């Protein structure tokens, strides 16, 4: 029997041992986090379901068909099932309670009924819908079944409450419609006993091929069990193996007030591993739904409580903790409780249980959001991701961009996982194999990418041309990749410099200046360039968004002309300070009318598009150009306009697994890292804090300080401008501070007012470090 303390340390990636939750008069951080926020027009990976930080099981309601931004849509008042996996390009095992005549058709999202004539999809009583971190509940109109969900990291827990005597069925459907609906190549259900079912579903979409193994057990015996394939139902069977759409059902005869409980677990390795996950994470709770829910609540509260905010409005506190919650909710643990996992070549591997293998869609530009939050507040998370990257490299031969389900996806461009590894090292998070990390970086940044055997892609797509010419010609792909490759080169150069690899550092630092190779001085913009060195003639600053082929990846020339994270001073030198400031400020003025979002993914329409990655740093650039008060002004404007606090307005654009959320958290604290924190001596730029007081509890395993406090005295909606500042009691006249000074503990005090102090932080020598600046690292 595994002790309850050890089990729960395993069950939560960030979770402490179980502690009972006591009723308290004051709200806890977990009480402010609202999983329903922003769930209208959200992606498959973001929903109001019950999950743990980076949970393998993300147990959530699905109410849409197989469409873009499928999964859960707040405005749809029906549910077609509760499925276990909500990862990019991945889904699996939907569960649905029904009553009356057995119906195996899901039914249409556009035409649900309160009966069972057109499908088992059910309308819901919207007023009964509740969601909090680790918990979801709703009452279904079909049978008035109250359905509650909670989870551990790898296991799910359902509680179904029936109000009257009913013929009840609980359906297990392997056909889950979502953004990338998978083909079922092979699947199987087996009735193990009157209380337990097991099985698997071997699924494929594009290059993404994986097998979801599962075990499900009830707290009372089934009255009957059967399966279906297509429209054919097989009753009273013990086993069914098929290709294509299929499912299974368990029959019960309920009495008024009866509760049926179901526990499930999954694994990408095997059914035996799924059962181990179930036993390890659920057995200690002895079928107590409330105990599992309280454990999830405690884990989330301890995680969210690492940042304590004081003052401001109830709405801002809700926005803060909901955005912090999203920073840990959409990415996925793919190794089992004992460390087993399946590598990119479909080989079973064994890693240390405390070093989970993690998955996501990509780390495209997370250096402007997730990286800086994790390395400051949860350095153990940055460490886990770094070790996961290196473990995948060890067996797959390439660093993964994400990875999605431990596969090489080719999404997105460049190799920005390098930025997280580098930033972690520079900040003293070094509990990983440094030599292996450098080897992996060197391989990634000196070798053209390749198509993988399953049809995915590893490495940099247009790297042969980049290595040959110093830029990506428009004949090959996006010119913007030049800038992203050059940033990664700089990260490798900084890492090499830090570990004493002088020759390699010099090589990569030269390549870090490749921005200039696609800078057209006649127009002062990054411009599409042909292989023969001539500029593309059919061009304008707000043009040429590309998803594949020539142009600017999900952006435009205006945005990418500010994309040199490691060398903002270099951009200013090329553009001129006045043009830099005027262009940037006027872009914000124009974009403010659109709430800083390119609606409908029309990326060419606005200069500043906070709804996508390429210029999420834009508001912070004024710190480098002598006008830090404009950073204060525009970061506040984005926090107020772009971010909301309702299901219909949580965020605009594409959240991308916590990137928008973590940007808000950092900006609300008044901190940011334009260079992604990858320099030899990392630093934070200072903005306009939303709260009078923020206290970060520092991780003493990595940082020697106990807490770091940011006080923004007099801050309000009007008082958003810094008048003066002190750091640990000494005057601070520059709009930035070193990371090391922050994590040594102490206090940053900002005096806020209604009008800009144009003398604070605006002198030429006050700007943060840049590669081309005299104050470079």
Under DSSP, the state recorded for 11 is H
> What is the pLDDT at residue 113?
63
- Biggest CA–CA distance in the chain, Å, is 80
- Other CB atoms within a 10 A radius of the CB of residue 369 amount to 27
> What is the pLDDT at residue 112?
72
Is the Cβ–Cβ distance between 82 and 96 less than 8 Å?
A: yes
Output the 3-class SS for 604-617: CCCCCCCCCHHHCC
What is the β-pairing status of strands 736-738 and 683-686? antiparallel
Treating both helix axes as pointing N-terminal to C-terminal, what angle do 379-396 and 370-377 enclose, rounded to 10 degrees? Answer: 120
> What is the pLDDT at residue 591?
97
Long-range contacts (CB closer than 8 Å, 24 or more residues apart) made by 337-340: 337/10, 337/11, 337/154, 337/276, 337/277, 337/280, 337/281, 338/273, 338/276, 340/267, 340/269, 340/273
What is the C-alpha separation between 145 and 498, in angstroms, rounded? 60
Which tokens is 473 given?
A: 């010609």
What is the C-alpha separation between 123 and 141, in angstroms, rounded? 5
Q: Any alpha helices (H) in 593-733, and if so which ranges? A: 628-641, 659-669
What is the C-alpha separation between 507 and 773, in angstroms, rounded? 19
- What DSSP string runs through 427-474? TT---S-HHHHHHHHHHHTTSB-EE-TTS-EESBTTHHHHHHHSS--T
> What is the pLDDT at residue 22?
43
Expressed in angstroms, the distance from the first to the final Cα of the chain is 53
Contact residues for 494 (Cβ-Cβ < 8 A; gap 6+): 422, 426, 505, 678, 679, 680, 777
- The secondary structure element, H or E, covering residue 390 is helix 379-396
Closest CA to 93 of 10, 155, 160, 11: 155
Phi, psi of 200 (to 5 degrees): -155, 165
CATH assignment of 4-304?
A: 2.70.98.10
Kindly list the distances between the CA atom of residue 511 and the CA atoms of 17, 469, 493, 514, 529, in Å, as whole numbers in the listed order.
48, 11, 9, 5, 18
> What is the pLDDT at residue 774?
52
- Quote the Cα angle for 440-442-444, to 5°: 70
Q: Which residues are 79's β-sheet partners?
A: 122
Contact residues for 590 (Cβ-Cβ < 8 A; gap 6+): 606, 607, 608
> What is the pLDDT at residue 3?
37
Residues of the chain with pLDDT under 70: 1-25, 113-117, 774-777
Under DSSP, the state recorded for 704 is S
Q: Which residues are 59's β-sheet partners?
A: 50
Strands in 730-731's sheet, in edge-to-edge order, are: 307-310, 693-697, 707-713, 746-753, 721-727, 730-731
Instruction: Specify the 3-state DSSP secondary structure of 570.
Output: helix
> What is the pLDDT at residue 18?
35
> What is the pLDDT at residue 12?
45
- The secondary structure element, H or E, covering residue 204 is strand 196-205
What is the C-alpha separation between 447 and 152, in angstroms, rounded? 40
What is the C-alpha separation between 68 and 657, in angstroms, rounded? 15
Is the Cβ–Cβ distance between 662 and 655 less than 8 Å?
A: no
What is the C-alpha separation between 684 and 105, in angstroms, rounded? 54
What is the C-alpha separation between 466 and 481, in angstroms, rounded? 9
Contact residues for 589 (Cβ-Cβ < 8 A; gap 6+): none
Please state the pTM of the whole predicted model. Answer: 0.95
Which tokens is 91 given?
A: 């889904």
What is the C-alpha separation between 456 and 450, in angstroms, rounded? 9
Output the 3-class SS for 666-689: HHHHCEECCCCCCCCCCEEEECCC
Which tokens is 512 given?
A: 């870090």
Contact residues for 108 (Cβ-Cβ < 8 A; gap 6+): 65, 118, 119, 121
What is the C-alpha separation between 311 and 323, in angstroms, rounded? 17
> What is the pLDDT at residue 227?
97
């Amino acid at each position: 029997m595994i002790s309850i303390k050890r089990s729960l340390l395993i069950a939560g990636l960030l979770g402490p041992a179980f502690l009972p939750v006591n009723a308290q008069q004051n709200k806890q951080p977990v009480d402010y986090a609202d999983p329903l926020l922003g769930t209208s027009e959200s992606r498959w990976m973001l929903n109001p379901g019950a999950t743990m930080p980076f949970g393998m099981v993300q147990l959530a309601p699905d109410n849409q068909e197989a469409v873009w931004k499928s999964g859960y849509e707040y405005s749809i008042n029906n549910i077609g099932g509760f499925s276990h996996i909500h990862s990019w390009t991945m889904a699996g095992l939907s569960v649905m309670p029904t009553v009356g005549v057995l119906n195996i058709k899901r039914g249409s999202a556009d035409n649900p009924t309160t009966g069972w004539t057109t499908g088992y999809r059910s309308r819901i009583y919207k007023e009964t819908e509740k969601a909090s971190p680790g918990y979801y509940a709703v009452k279904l109109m079909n049978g008035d079944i109250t359905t509650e969900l909670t989870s551990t990291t790898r296991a799910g827990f359902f509680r179904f409450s029936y109000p009257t005597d009913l013929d009840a069925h609980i359906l297990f459907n392997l056909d889950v419609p979502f953004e990338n609906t998978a083909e079922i190549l092979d699947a199987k259900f087996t009735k193990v006993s009157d209380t337990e079912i097991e099985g698997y579903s071997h699924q494929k979409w594009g290059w993404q091929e994986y097998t979801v193994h599962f075990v499900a057990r009830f707290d009372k015996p089934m009255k009957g069990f059967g399966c279906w394939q297509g429209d054919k139902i097989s009753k009273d069977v013990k086993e069914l193996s098929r290709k294509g759409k299929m499912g299974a059902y368990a029959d019960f005869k309920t009495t008024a007030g009866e509760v049926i409980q179901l526990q499930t677990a999954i694994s990408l390795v095997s059914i035996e591993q799924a059962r181990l996950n179930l036993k390890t994470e659920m057995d200690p709770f002895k079928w107590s739904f409330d105990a599992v829910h309280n454990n999830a609540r405690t884990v989330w509260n301890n995680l969210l409580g690492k940042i304590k905010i004081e003052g401001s409005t109830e709405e801002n506190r809700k926005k803060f903790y909901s955005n912090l919650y999203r920073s840990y909710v959409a990415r996925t643990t793919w190794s089992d409780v004992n460390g087993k996992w399946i590598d990119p070549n479909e080989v079973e591997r064994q890693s240390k249980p405390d070093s989970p293998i993690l998955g996501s869609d990509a780390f495209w530009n997370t250096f402007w959001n997730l990286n800086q939050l994790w390395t400051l507040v949860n350095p153990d998370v940055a460490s886990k991701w770094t070790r996961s990257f290196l473990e995948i490299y060890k067996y797959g031969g390439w660093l993964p961009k994400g990875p999605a389900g431990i596969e090489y996806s080719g999404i997105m461009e460049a190799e920005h996982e390098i930025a997280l590894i580098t930033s972690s090292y520079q900040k003293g998070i070094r509990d990983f194999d440094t030599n292996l990390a450098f080897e992996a970086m060197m391989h990634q940044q000196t070798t053209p990418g390749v198509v993988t055997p399953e049809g995915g892609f590893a490495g940099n797509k247009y790297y042969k041309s980049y290595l040959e010419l110093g830029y990506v010609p428009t004949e090959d792909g996006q010119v913007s990749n030049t800038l992203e490759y050059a940033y990664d080169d700089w990260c490798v150069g900084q890492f090499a410099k830090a570990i004493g690899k002088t020759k390699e550092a010099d090589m990569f630092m030269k390549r870090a200046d490749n921005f200039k190779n696609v800078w057209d001085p006649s127009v002062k913009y990054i411009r599409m360039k042909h292989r023969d060195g001539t500029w593309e003639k059919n061009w304008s600053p707000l043009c040429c968004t590309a998803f594949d082929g020539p142009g600017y990846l999900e952006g435009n020339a205006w945005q990418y002309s500010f994309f040199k994270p490691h060398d903002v001073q270099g951009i200013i030198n090329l553009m001129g300070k006045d043009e830099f400031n005027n262009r940037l400020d006027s872009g914000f003025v124009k974009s403010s009318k659109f709430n800083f979002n390119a609606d409908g993914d029309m990326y060419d329409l606005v200069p500043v598009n906070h709804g996508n990655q390429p210029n999420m740093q834009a508001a912070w650039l004024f710190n480098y150009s002598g006008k830090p008060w404009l950073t204060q002004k525009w970061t506040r404007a984005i926090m107020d306009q772009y971010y909301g606090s309702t299901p219909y307005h949580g965020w605009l654009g594409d959240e991308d697994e916590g990137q928008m959320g973590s940007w808000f958290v950092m900006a609300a604290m008044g901190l940011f890292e334009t260079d992604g924190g990858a320099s030899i001596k990392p630093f934070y730029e200072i903005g306009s804090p939303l709260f009078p007081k923020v206290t970060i509890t520092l991780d003493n395993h990595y940082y020697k300080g106990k807490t770091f406090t940011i006080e923004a005295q007099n801050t309000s909606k009007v008082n958003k401008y810094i008048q003066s500042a002190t750091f640990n009691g000494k005057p601070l006249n520059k709009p930035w501070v070193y990371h090391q000074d922050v994590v040594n503990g102490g206090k940053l005090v900002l005096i806020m007012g209604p009008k800009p102090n144009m003398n604070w932080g605006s002198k030429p020598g006050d700007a943060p470090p840049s590669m081309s600046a005299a104050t470079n690292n």
